[in-house]
């Protein structure tokens, strides 16, 4: 079972950072200090608070502030205690929303706000594989949404792999339609095999798209969406 947590975050939330900060690790608190812009600080505090709440939901005996979390050199989050085996996690933040996935297997999550002003065509070469570009639909709202859906599937996979942008998104191909669930159909052989990674869309609030990727054969893990509100997050931090 993969838990996919979604937490809507309006731009300004009084007290959120101060309420969550004491429950974070020293390195996360130091990171909070370095943000130049308050909305980025709020999203970071919300996401890293959500991570702990999601872990405690899975292991209710561990209070939110007792999770031991580190960051790899590539930027991925790793839970190192206090339970064993340690859960696998992934985080994402975008305008208005943060997300967190928790699983027993390597997992990645990505959410994006569907920006109506982004010049998506300028990103085709970087994000879409040659086969995806060859079959790309004509410009319009549906094509824009499809671009963001393609983006989150690839980002979720790259996060699950722990790679981030060390792998070019255009070397990966995904497939999905109104009637067929998403799948990875092509990726560099040196990285992994499509048969070893499953992907699924999560259903975030309007104006956003989201996806989860997990190690294991496609369809082998159920994704449980969990939408929560800020009050629940804040209450868990006392």
Binding mask 46-65 for ligand COA (x = CB under 6 A): -x------------------
Q: Using CB under 6 A, which of 97, 110, 176, 199 touches ligand COA?
A: 110
**Residue nearer to ligand COA on the CB measure, 34 or 61:** 34
Q: Interface with ligand COA includes 8 (CB under 6 A)?
A: no
CB of 118 to ligand COA, least distance (A): 11
The answer to whether residue 128 forms part of the interface with ligand COA (CB under 6 A) is no
The phi and psi torsions of 61 (rounded to 5 degrees) equal -75, -10
Q: Which of 39, 162, 216, 225 binds ligand COA (CB under 6 A)?
A: 162
* Sign of the C-alpha dihedral computed for residues 172, 173, 177 and 180 taken in this order: negative
Q: Is 44 an interacting residue with respect to ligand COA (CB under 6 A)?
A: yes
CA distances from 43 to 84, 94, 145, 153, 194 (A): 29, 8, 23, 21, 32
217's torsion region: left (phi>0), alpha (psi -120 to 50) or beta?
beta
Among 74, 142, 195, 227, binds ligand COA (CB under 6 A): 74
Binder among 41, 146, 159, 214 for ligand COA (CB under 6 A): 159
Interacting positions 197-236 with ligand COA (CB under 6 A):
none
Q: Quick check: 132 binds ligand COA (CB under 6 A)?
A: no
Nearer to ligand COA, 13 or 47 (CB): 47
Q: Which stretch binds ligand COA (CB under 6 A): 140-148, 151-159, 195-203, 218-226?
A: 151-159
Within 8 A by CB and 6+ apart from 130, the residues are 170
Q: Which one of 20, 127, 167, 202 is in contact with ligand COA (CB under 6 A)?
A: 127
163 contributes a contact to ligand COA by CB under 6 A: yes
Neighbours of 160 (CB within 10 A): 27
Residue 175: CB atoms within 10 Å: 17
CA dist., res. 7 & res. 5, Å (int): 7
Helix (H, G, I), strand (E, B) or coil at 90: strand
Which residue shows structure tokens 């994402």? 92
Do β-strands 183-186 and 197-202 pair in parallel, antiparallel, or remain unpaired?
A: unpaired
User: In terms of CB distance, is 169 or 204 closer to ligand COA?
Assistant: 169
Dihedral pair phi/psi, residue 111, rounded to 5°? -125, 145
Please report, as ranges, the residues that interact with ligand COA according to CB under 6 A: 44, 47, 74-77, 90-93, 110, 127, 151, 154-155, 158-159, 162-165, 169
């Amino acid at each position: 079972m993969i838990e996919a947590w979604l937490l809507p975050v309006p731009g300004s939330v009084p007290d959120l950072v101060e309420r969550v900060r004491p429950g974070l690790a020293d390195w996360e608190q130091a990171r909070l200090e370095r943000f130049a812009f308050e909305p980025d600080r709020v999203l970071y505090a919300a996401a890293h608070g959500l991570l702990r709440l999601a872990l405690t939901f899975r292991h209710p005996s561990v209070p939110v502030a007792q999770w031991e979390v580190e960051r790899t050199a590539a930027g991925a989050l790793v839970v190192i205690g206090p339970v064993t085996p340690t859960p696998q996690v992934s985080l994402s933040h975008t305008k208005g929303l943060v997300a967190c996935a928790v699983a027993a297997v390597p997992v990645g999550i990505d959410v994006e706000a569907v920006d109506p002003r982004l010049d998506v065509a300028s990103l085709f070469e970087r994000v879409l594989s040659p086969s995806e570009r060859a079959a790309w639909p004509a410009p319009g709202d549906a094509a824009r949404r499809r671009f963001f859906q393609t983006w989150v599937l690839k980002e979720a996979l790259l996060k699950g792999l722990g790679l981030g942008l060390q792998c070019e998104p255009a070397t990966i191909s995904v497939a999905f339609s109104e009637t067929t669930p998403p799948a990875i159909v092509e990726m560099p052989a040196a990285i992994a095999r499509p048969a070893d990674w499953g992907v699924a869309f999560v259903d975030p609030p309007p104006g956003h798209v989201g996806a989860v990727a997990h190690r294991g054969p496609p369809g082998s893990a159920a994704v449980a969406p969990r939408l929560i509100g800020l009050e629940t997050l804040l209450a868990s931090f006392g």
